[in-house]
Amino acid sequence: MSSFYPLHEFSQKVGQDKVDVKLLVPVGIEPHDWEPTIKDVQQMQKSDLIIINGIGFESWTDKLTEMNYQGIVVDTSNGIISKIIEESSTNEHVDTTDDPHIWLNPVFAKIQVQNIADAFSKSDPENEKYYKENASNYIAELDLLDLKIRNELSNCNHDFIAFHKAFSYFSNEYGLTQHTILSSYAPHAEPTAKTLENVINKAKELNLDIIFTEETVDPKTSQVIANEIGGKILVLSPLEIADDGTYISRMTENLNNLKEALC
């Protein structure tokens, strides 16, 4: 079982027809908000492996210890140093928890894919070569994505306004500066009038005319800011819920929207 959409896809890419991969958080549900039901817990009990992002993203993992889960929990953040990132924040409140959004940096996504391949190989040594080969092929695709983002954003502006603090690792990787409407790592809070005013001022100061929203939030907040600066809104997806397309196609859509904003 994989905890949420990107890990589900990574697990499918690595395991293919040798692994039965199930997605834990239902399609369309925001994983920050999700808590397992009794039925979910029963399903988890039957699984050999539970693939998680780690860095506190899955707050429900404590329950696995309580329910005496006999399988293996695979923390795909192993080998990745999480950051408490001080953003150039336009808000009154600064979030000091660790940032879990490692999957939005393709360089870290490659480590997550490798961690999944290692876990599958350990659990099913007979097919180790198969898993390692699949991982290697997919990592080559992620290399191309990384190169594309690097090349296409290299001569552009650096500052953008995202909805919530999901793009810190991405920004660090590609030399960008993330400003946000919400200062939290979770997308469900209501910005105050003061916060909106700060963001509008920041957008004007940086001469920005595109404000980002996300597919699971009400776009009205971003639209209010865009109206004030005479700009428009586009989607910058944190890829937290399953949707049409793949990890690579959706990251490419993010790249295209960033290029429109920055280049």
- First-to-last CA distance in the chain? 40
What is the model's pLDDT at position 88? 40
Cα torsion 90, 95, 193, 218 to 10°: value is 100
- What are the Cα distances from residue 84, in Å, to 79, 98, 164? 16, 5, 15
Q: What is the pLDDT along the chain (263 residues), one digit of tens a residue?
A: 999 999 999 999 999 999 999 999 887 788 877 888 888 888 899 999 999 999 989 988 888 888 888 999 999 999 998 765 444 444 444 444 689 999 999 999 999 999 999 999 999 999 999 999 999 999 999 999 999 999 999 999 999 999 999 999 999 999 999 999 988 777 677 888 899 999 999 999 999 999 999 988 888 999 999 999 999 999 999 999 877 899 999 999 999 999 999 99
CA angle 224, 221, 161 (to 5 degrees): 90
Residue 142 to residue 148: CA distance in whole angstroms: 10
Specify whether the CB–CB gap between 59 and 71 falls below 8 A: no
Burial environment of residue 261 by CB neighbours within 10 A (0 to 12, 13 to 18, 19 or more): buried
- Of 63, 95, 94, 58, give the one whose Cα is nearest residue 77: 58
What is the model's pLDDT at position 116? 98
What is the model's pLDDT at position 102? 96
Place of tokens 């209010």: 224
DSSP secondary structure string, 33-92? G----HHHHHHHHH-SEEEE--TTS-GGGHHHHHTT--SEEEETTTT-----------SS
Residue 117 to residue 122: CA distance in whole angstroms: 9
